[in-house]
């Protein structure tokens, strides 16, 4: 079997990560939505999450959600990117719930749902500081009052997102702000909010150390289940697997060369002017993988003594002078992935997916 540049996906490790996260969160009254956008909602991975105890799914891409529905996933699915006005009909048809911040869109969702005789769930996003989606806290109660008057939607809860754009960390302080909004909104609209959604993987640390405010009852988790990491905190979660995804690719050249290119310098193939440090003669390998396959900043050599020097569209160049083992043409080199590496390798049509249990 030809297996150059394949992503080896360990379904058992994904299941275990999901199980451990679901269990830890359940002890604190928190339900976990399994977020599927990090791996293009590949169905075998979704099933591994479900085996681990995930009962509800979430994705930012309607295309992924539609594909899951076509494959008969009947779980509740939440749309995690605030809907486009142009897609409200599909949002109603394929999802159970969506996160929202624009009244105009919520009104359109309501009209479409009402015309079909159904109700769509809305989680109103409140921006507590990260400055991506959400209404500002001072506008939240008024927005909620308007939403509850609409016939085709139910205001199921409120949520917030952190650590994505502004790099703002979830803390007891900003999550308590969300809980204050809950009390305020419930008083104003005279109904209880079922869901208080306190973020993604970056909120897991608060669950781990027991400091997540009581009342937060949902987290939307992708990275933690898949990679066992928390990029926002720069944290490798010690009770999760970090190697459920391994990218293996074939070595196509091994040679000792100078560390500074020879000749007159122009730009590289991506228009950048490269800079080099002279480290003398180094043993280098080229592997059959490039920027066209994957975001190379998302690759982490499993052998810590191997260093990525750079790459072009189809070649990745690594320094293997200090490599632990023998490096030979025709062998496979293995990389772990960060979130960018995961996103791009799962979505890449050049990288074959190979599953192990």
Q: Is 200 in the site for ligand PLP (CB under 6 A)?
A: yes
* CA atoms 130, 131, 133, 137: torsion sign: positive
Of 31 and 111, nearer to ligand PLP (C-beta) is: 31
Q: Are 181 and 161 in contact (CB under 8 A)?
A: no
Of 64 and 249, nearer to ligand PLP (C-beta) is: 64
Interface region with ligand PLP, contact rule CB under 6 A, candidates 219-227, 240-248, 291-299, 325-333:
219-227
Of 34 and 137, nearer to ligand PLP (C-beta) is: 34
Residues 33-52 touching ligand PLP, rule: CB under 6 A, are 35, 37-38
Shortest Cβ 115–ligand PLP spacing (Å): 27
Q: Is 220 in the site for ligand PLP (CB under 6 A)?
A: yes
Instruction: Pull the structure tokens for residue 74.
Output: 């009947």
Site for ligand PLP (CB under 6 A): how many residues? 14
> Which residues, in sequence order, are CB contacts of 28 under 8 Å at separation 6+?
207, 210, 212, 214
Shortest Cβ 216–ligand PLP spacing (Å): 14
- Give one DSSP letter per residue of 201-238, joined into a string: GGGHHHHHTT-SPBTB-EEEESHHHHHSEEGGGTEE-T
Shortest Cβ 225–ligand PLP spacing (Å): 8
Of 200 and 341, nearer to ligand PLP (C-beta) is: 200
Q: Is 185 in the site for ligand PLP (CB under 6 A)?
A: no
H/E element holding 250? strand 245-258
- Whether 37 sits among the annotated catalytic residues: the reply is yes
Residues 231-270 touching ligand PLP, rule: CB under 6 A, are none
Of 17 and 348, nearer to ligand PLP (C-beta) is: 17
> Which residues, in sequence order, are CB contacts of 249 under 8 Å at separation 6+?
4, 5, 6, 287, 288, 289, 316, 332, 333, 335
Of 162 and 306, nearer to ligand PLP (C-beta) is: 162
Interface region with ligand PLP, contact rule CB under 6 A, candidates 140-148, 221-229, 305-313, 330-338:
221-229
Q: Is 223 in the site for ligand PLP (CB under 6 A)?
A: yes
Indicate which residue of 37, 112, 182, 205 is catalytic. Answer: 37
Q: Is 170 in the site for ligand PLP (CB under 6 A)?
A: no
Q: Is 222 in the site for ligand PLP (CB under 6 A)?
A: yes
* CA atoms 284, 309, 8, 289: torsion sign: negative
> Residue-wise over 92-104: b if at least 16 C-beta within 10 A, else e?
bbbbbbbbbbeee
> Which residues, in sequence order, are CB contacts of 236 under 8 Å at separation 6+?
228, 229, 242
DSSP 297: G
Identify the three-state secondary structure at position 86.
Answer: helix
Catalytic site positions? 37
Interface with ligand PLP (CB under 6 A): 35, 37-38, 60, 80, 99, 161, 200-201, 220-224
């Amino acid at each position: 079997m030809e297996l150059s540049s394949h992503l080896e996906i360990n379904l058992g490790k994904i299941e275990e990560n999901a199980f451990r996260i679901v269990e830890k969160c359940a002890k604190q009254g928190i339900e976990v939505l399994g977020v599927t956008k990090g791996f293009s909602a590949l169905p075998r991975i979704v099933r591994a999450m479900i085996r681990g105890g995930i009962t509800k799914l979430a994705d930012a891409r309607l295309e992924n959600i539609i594909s899951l529905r076509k494959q008969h996933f009947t779980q509740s699915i939440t749309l995690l990117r605030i809907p486009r006005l142009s897609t409200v009909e599909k949002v109603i048809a394929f999802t159970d719930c969506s996160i929202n911040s624009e009244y105009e869109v919520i009104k359109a969702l309501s009209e479409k749902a009402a015309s079909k005789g159904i109700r769509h769930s809305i989680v109103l996003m409140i921006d507590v500081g990260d400055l991506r989606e959400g209404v500002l806290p001072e506008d939240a109660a008024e927005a909620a009052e308007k939403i509850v008057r609409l016939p085709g939607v139910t205001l199921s809860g409120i949520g917030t997102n952190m650590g994505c754009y502004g790099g703002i960390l979830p803390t007891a302080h900003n999550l308590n702000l969300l809980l204050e909004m809950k009390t305020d909104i419930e008083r104003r609209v005279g109904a209880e909010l079922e869901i208080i959604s306190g973020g993604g993987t970056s909120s897991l640390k608060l669950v781990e150390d027991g400091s997540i405010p009581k009342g937060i009852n949902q987290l939307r988790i992708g990275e933690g289940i898949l990679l066992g990491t928390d990029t926002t905190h720069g944290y490798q979660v010690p009770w999760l697997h970090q190697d459920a995804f391994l990218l293996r690719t074939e070595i196509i050249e091994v040679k000792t060369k100078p560390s500074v290119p020879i000749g007159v310098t122009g730009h590289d193939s991506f228009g950048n002017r490269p800079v080099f440090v002279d480290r003398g003669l180094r043993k280098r390998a080229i592997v059959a993988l490039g920027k066209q396959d994957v975001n190379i900043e998302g690759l982490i050599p499993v052998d810590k003594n191997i260093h990525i020097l750079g790459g072009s569209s189809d070649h990745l160049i690594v320094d293997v002078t200090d490599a632990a083992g023998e490096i030979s043409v025709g062998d496979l080199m293995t990389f772990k992935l960060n979130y960018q590496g995961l996103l791009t390798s799962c979505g890449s049509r050049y990288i074959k997916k190979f599953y192990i249990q």
